[in-house]
Amino acid sequence: MADHHADTADTTAAAWWEDRYASGATRWSGNANDLLVREVEGLAPGRALELGCGTGGDAIWLAAQGWQVVGVDIAQAALDQAAVHAAEAGVDGAVTWERHDVEESFPAGEFDLVSACYLQSPKPFARLAALQAAAGAVAPGGSLVIVAHERFPSGNAPHPGNYMPSTAELLADLALPEDGWSVETAESVERSRTKDDGELVEYADHVLRFTRR
């Protein structure tokens, strides 16, 4: 799951995320996101694009399942750390890492799976446009998986201007044509976790999976 942090610095998104990873403020959990695992486990491996891959937990898990993965992030420091973890996991031959600010550039090609897990930012971010670009990169017969917070953990101030739609709102906003896409999963998942200091925090995630016809 993504961590949460206030946007206190007057920096660009790229510089802000670069600093998060370079300083060690955001670290590799070593795990894939459980909701991605749940959605992808039944799919036949092919070519996958992981957007906002951070330090690579999901991309490395996908590679270990037999996917050929392109991991994309705005922060080179994250990608450098991800590459080290991929080598440690013995899957570096199955993953390539590309730095993109997806508001400005996007990986070339079509993919059997495009995933965007917690592709969210405290900096201004045209997230809906990024998700629509993600849909555009799905090959016929391929899947699009989107997982993100629709409600922040209790005690966390929402990021001003952050696009955090409910599942129904995101379905409507994406407006993927019914004759081109099947909705396989459209769910809001209530979640909770206990922080290191013992505080219980509750939040909710939207989970969407589509198949392109």
Ligand X SMILES: C[S@@+](CC[C@H](N)C(=O)[O-])C[C@H]1O[C@@H](n2cnc3c(N)ncnc32)[C@H](O)[C@@H]1O
Residues that bind ligand X (CB under 6 A): 2, 13, 17, 33, 52-54, 73-75, 78, 100-103, 117-121, 125
Give backbone dihedrals phi and psi of 69, rounded to 5 degrees, phi first.
-115, 140
CB of 54 to ligand X, least distance (A): 3
* Beta carbon nearer to ligand X, 117 or 138: 117
Q: Which residue has the tokens 């300083």?
A: 23
* Beta carbon nearer to ligand X, 34 or 140: 34
Q: Shortest CA distance to 107 belongs to which of 140, 57, 62, 69?
A: 69
* Beta carbon nearer to ligand X, 102 or 138: 102
* Beta carbon nearer to ligand X, 94 or 119: 119
Residue nearest to ligand X (CB): 52
Q: Hey, is 1 helix, strand or coil?
A: coil
CB of 166 to ligand X, least distance (A): 19
CB of 56 to ligand X, least distance (A): 9
How would DSSP label each residue in 143-186? Answer: EEEEEEEEEPPTTPPPPTT-----HHHHHHHH---TTTEEEEEE
